[in-house]
Amino acid sequence: MAHNIYNDGSKDCMFVVGDRKAAWHELGQRCDTAVTWEEAIKLAGLDWTVLKQENYARNPAGNVVKTGSCAIFRSSDNQVLGTVGPDFQVKQNRECFAFIDTLLESNGGAHYDSAGALGNGARIWCAVRVPKADMVVAGSDQHETYLVFATAHDGSLSHTVKLTSVRVVCQNTLQASLSDAGAMFKVKHTKNADARLGRAKDLMTGVVQDAKSLEEKLNLLATRRLTLDSLTTITDRLFPKPDDKASEASRTRRDNLLADVLKLYESNDRDAIPVIRGTAYNLLNAVTEYTDHFRNARITEGREDAGYTLVQARAENAVMGTGDRLKSEALEVILEGTKDCPTYSPIWSRVAPSGSGTLLDDVMANHN
């Protein structure tokens, strides 16, 4: 399957709130309003359980012996989801959804936006809207906030919780911290999993504060106007120049990468929010859009076995892998690299500055 959404033989196991076109490849079930976890698990086709059983093999002497590994089966069809070690602790889909509900009790409750399974159904996820943590940058650039939970019954992914800001105008994502846990909270499938997941409940009291902290940083960037010096410093840090011994191909790859990022910067999402044009926030959006939609991604052996496409590999990186780390680094590098740049008045009713040439000409004009 090119889209990699698990199909149980009767339906694609995914649901999404809103227009069907918002669903991946227009697949899965849709509904008009947010739903409870009991509804979400049924709509996404995840109302099944998993079982762990020891694996056995016949040795050369003809005796049946334990292999030291276990198989994970899905109860609905006895499908083997994967092979794990004996210490792997099973956590049912229902437990995962109920955990998210408990996690968000202090933040107005859970509003499920999407959920589903990938590949053979071993990997499941859900995304939950947290409206209290939504953000607005530059007066009108809206960001919706979601809590994302993902796990894998085959052991290929820890129980993972993260807070994600989705920029409505282009669907690009930035992560917010989860208080002292950093940007992501991961728990391995061990006997201590429940205790560690219980600790995550304490972190969720700071969800709104974490989102507002990110909002403050983004609004600060929206007041800073890029200069040639700051643009050069930032791109050199994020995308280092190849050393003197590097091949011509390496130099060309970097040149092409920078060209892609600067093209997105120049576009400013087709001037969807004109007031941020030429700002440090504009550059952060360009790096984010490049990472989410254009950056190359490796098809590892595991991804190849799971049937991943380049788009899916890039998407996984952008949300929980190397792309996610790049976006987090970009935020801090751009904050630091523009601290001495000229600033605009943070009154978002103003008209964005314009020059006689392109946006990059405007940056040249502000060369310090």
Average pLDDT over every residue of 45-61: 94
265 confidence band (pLDDT: 50, 70, 90):
very high
pLDDT for 322 equals 78
Question: Position of tokens 């940058």?
Answer: 137
* Confidence check: pLDDT of 305 > 80: no
Cα separation, 304 vs 250, in Å, equals 25
pLDDT for 230 equals 96
pLDDT for 52 equals 96
Contact at 8 Å (CB) between 221 and 338? yes
- Reported as a single tens digit per residue, the pLDDT across 85-116 is 999 999 999 988 888 887 777 566 667 888 99
- Reported as a single tens digit per residue, the pLDDT across 244-253 is 888 888 899 9
Q: Which residues, in sequence order, are CB contacts of 269 under 8 Å at separation 6+?
A: 169, 170, 285, 289
- Reported as a single tens digit per residue, the pLDDT across 275-285 is 999 999 999 99
Compute the radius of gyration of the chain from its Cα atoms: 23
Q: Which two tokens stand for residue 110?
A: 């859970």
* Confidence check: pLDDT of 368 > 60: no
pLDDT for 346 equals 61
pLDDT for 2 equals 43
Q: Which residues, in sequence order, are CB contacts of 81 under 8 Å at separation 6+?
A: 50, 72, 73, 74, 120, 121, 122, 153, 154
To the nearest whole percent, how much of the chain has pLDDT over 90?
Answer: 39
* Confidence check: pLDDT of 313 > 50: yes
What's the distance, CA 299 to chain centroid?
A: 18
Q: Which of 11-15, 137-141, 193-197 has the lowest mean pLDDT?
A: 193-197
Cα separation, 280 vs 335, in Å, equals 8
Surface-to-core class of residue 144, CB atoms within 10 Å of its CB (0-12 exposed, 13-18 middle, 19+ buried): middle
Is 0.85 topped by the overall pTM?
no
Cα separation, 172 vs 160, in Å, equals 20
232 confidence band (pLDDT: 50, 70, 90):
very high
